[in-house]
Amino acid sequence: MNKHTIWSKTIMILFKTNQSFYSLSVETLCKEIGIHRSTFYRYFNSKYDLLQFGVNLLWTDYFHSFNKEILLKPFTSSNDFYQYSNAKKLIQSQRNYPEVLQDIQNLTLSKLEDYYKSALNDANNLHAGFIIATINYLDEWNHKAQKPLTELDIIFNALCASSLHKIKKLSQT
């Protein structure tokens, strides 16, 4: 048994039952997976740690394919990846549980912020933090506005022009 197997079996349970991740107790999870609680806690400090591990795992391919163009088009690039991923299945299975969806979003944005920070060589995290706040705001705003993702990328680039200028300069070298 390892972290990957525990996560894989966890999402299969969630896909099958459409139960909230947070309502699934560690005891029930261990029973369903066929492990002892001590095995679970050997790998994870909490269910939240399991969720964090799982979200990072689900988005690994997206984050590993990062390049400057993806950083400049966060809405279309993440959607292109998302459409064919298990991340979509997880989010759909948790769609009735806003607290789980919020945590998944926060974990994903935190990881994305790390990539912007690295791409911008942003030691104090000012630009990366601003970019992530802008992405989050535009995502929330678009629930009502219903703009196409390509248009959101254009708005995003306009709002974050000074921060993104560093990425554009890096991609030209």
Domain coordinates in residue numbering, the chain: 3-53, 59-172
Distance CA 159, CA 65 (A): 24
For residue 79, give the nearest of 159, 152, 161, 145 by alpha carbon: 152
pTM of whole model > 0.75?
Answer: yes
When mean pLDDT is compared across 30-34, 60-64, 86-90, 146-150, the lowest value belongs to: 60-64
pLDDT, position 102: 94
pLDDT digits (tens, 9 = 90+) for 153-172: 999 999 988 777 766 554 44
pLDDT, position 2: 93
The class level of CATH for 3-53 reads mainly alpha
Backbone region of residue 18 per phi and psi (left: phi > 0; alpha: psi in -120 to 50; beta: other values) = left
For residue 96, give the nearest of 17, 12, 31 by alpha carbon: 17
